[in-house]
Amino acid sequence: MNRTLVVSSVIVVLLLGVAGGGYYLWRSKTARPAAVATAAAEPVPATPAPPADPPIHHPIESMPTLPPGDAAPGGASDDGVKASLDDLLGSRAVLSFLQVDNFIGRIVATVDNLDREHATPRLWPTNPMAGRFSASRGDGSEVIAPDNPRRYKAFVDFVEAIDTPRAVALYVKLYPRFQQAYAALGYPRLYFNDRLVEVIDRLIAAPVPHGPVAVRLLAVKGPVASAQPWTRYEFVDPALEALPAGQKMMVRVGPDNELRLKAKLLEFRRGLATGMR
């Protein structure tokens, strides 16, 4: 259940790297082939038109430029990203909470995965959460322990304290690298800004359970016992278990933390995209 930290980390992402006060229109500038004159009697087969670019729902209006040497994802320019994070969040907080190596690539992959069944832990942009998920007995079944949300309080406090306008400015500075990382992930004709807004909306729409949330520990089939059995819990309610990874994580942090995170997400979403004021 340490996966719940990823939601908080993505909110940090949304507030320090993936904010977006302006909107960037990342369009391919491939020229269409010019018509070729011919004197042949037989007609020349028409060149098929290239497929239309997907519609952009939340375009960025101006493209920020990167200093020379910063255009390629990864590499030495990660040092510049870390320096920017240290300046925005404080070096102690960055050290405590974030994985800064390939930070932008980690953010892009995690944001995309939050709307899917699984969010791969090895790609998270955060350090593991201290402690471990806990459950307790209640009404004949196990439920998420009442004190489990305390594990996330320090991180939620940290997220709420982020200066959103400064995070927006950092996003504008770094956006080309986010778009490059999204293209490298396998989406060269799609727009990361659109995907981000889509995922934020999905997180905001996560259910807020009323009362204890029942969970169960999955049995390990085989002779080797799990070294971390607390990572094998699932929701008893099939509707909760069917949620995408990001919404499951929102539920796991507890109602109070979830509502606080959603409030910050909503604040951030208003600066990120059109149509939600």
pLDDT tens-digit map of 192-210: 988 988 999 999 999 999 9
- The torsion of the CA quartet 75, 168, 248, 218, rounded to 10 degrees, works out to 30
% residues pLDDT > 70 (the chain): 66
Q: Is the model's pLDDT at 149 over the cut of 70?
A: yes
- Does a structural domain hold residue 33? no
| pLDDT at residue number 273 | 61
Q: Is the model's pLDDT at 99 over the cut of 80?
A: yes
Distance between terminal CA atoms of the chain?
34
What does the DSSP assignment read for 199-267?
HHHHHHT-----S--EEEEPPP-SSSPPS-GGGGEEESSHHHHTS-HHHHHHHHT-HHHHHHHHHHHHH
Q: Is the model's pLDDT at 129 over the cut of 80?
A: no
Is-contact 161 153, C-beta < 8 A? no
Q: Which two tokens stand for residue 40?
A: 């042949």
- Does a structural domain hold residue 142? no
Distance from C-alpha of 126 to C-alpha of 4, rounded to nearest angstrom: 11
- Does a structural domain hold residue 86? yes
Span 208-236, average pLDDT:
74
- Does a structural domain hold residue 78? yes
Distance from C-alpha of 219 to C-alpha of 222, rounded to nearest angstrom: 9
pLDDT, one tens digit per residue, over 40-96 is 445 555 666 556 778 888 776 644 444 444 444 443 367 888 898 899 889 998 888
144 DSSP β-pair partners: 135
| pLDDT at residue number 193 | 85
For the chain, the farthest-separated pair of C-alpha atoms sits apart, in whole angstroms, at 86
- Does a structural domain hold residue 252? yes
For residue 255, what are the CA distances in angstroms to 138, 149, 202, 213?
A: 18, 9, 16, 10
Is-contact 85 100, C-beta < 8 A? yes
Token pair 């069917």 in the structure block, residue: 242
Q: Which two tokens stand for residue 38?
A: 């011919």
Span 156-185, average pLDDT:
84
- Does a structural domain hold residue 39? no
Element (H, E) at 136: strand 135-138
What does the DSSP assignment read for 46-85?
PPPPPPPPPP-SS-BBSPPP--TT-SSSSTTHHHHHHHHH
Span 30-39, average pLDDT:
40
| Higher per-residue confidence, 69 vs 119 | 119
Phi, psi of 112, deg, nearest 5: -65, -40
The count of domains in the chain is 1
Span 5-20, average pLDDT:
52
**Of all residues in the chain, what percent are helix, strand and coil, respectively (each to 5)?**
45, 5, 45
When the pLDDT of each residue in the chain is averaged and rounded to a whole number, the result is 75
| Higher per-residue confidence, 61 vs 16 | 61
Q: Is the model's pLDDT at 171 over the cut of 70?
A: yes
- Does a structural domain hold residue 116? yes
| Higher per-residue confidence, 181 vs 132 | 181
| pLDDT at residue number 213 | 93
Is-contact 215 234, C-beta < 8 A? yes
- Does a structural domain hold residue 91? yes
Expressed as residue numbers, the domain containing 262 is: 4-27+56-131+149-208+244-272
